[in-house]
Amino acid sequence: MILNVQQHDGIDIVDLSGRFVMADTAETRERMLAIINQGSGKLIIDLQNVTFIDSSACAVLISAFKNIHAKSGRLILVTSPVVQSVLELTRLHTIFEILPSIPAAIGAFGAK
């Protein structure tokens, strides 16, 4: 799995691509925590290019969600149909804020 980070108007955008599975979780969790600790509390995780996700990867997203909430920040996920299906299967779509595209997610931060 590939993880890229960029910033846009004070918003951290983490772009994940490829298979997001158990083998990637430790490193991703650590990097995500570092981004949240150093960041502004505005985080977008772009999962549009994730081709597969399992439950341990979902746990990393939950941990990011918890960490950013502890900082009174906000996390928005941008998903692909595959990721969206897994989030709905596990009912995680009810806790995450999910938007269909990066511009929509950036717009949501602007609107708040």
Q: Which residues of the shown chain bind another protein in the complex (CB under 8 A)?
A: 21, 52, 54-55, 80-82, 84-86, 88-91
Q: What is the DSSP letter of 69?
A: H
CB closer to another protein, 2 vs 89:
89
Nearest alpha-carbon partner for 47 in 74, 24, 13, 72: 13
CB closer to another protein, 7 vs 55:
55
CB closer to another protein, 5 vs 89:
89
Q: Cβ of residue 21: shortest distance to another protein, in angstroms?
A: 8
Neighbour tally for 61: CB within 10 Å: 24
How far apart CA 70 and CA 73 sit, in angstroms, is: 7
Q: Cβ of residue 95: shortest distance to another protein, in angstroms?
A: 13
Q: Cβ of residue 13: shortest distance to another protein, in angstroms?
A: 23
Residues 6+ apart with CB under 8 A from 107: none
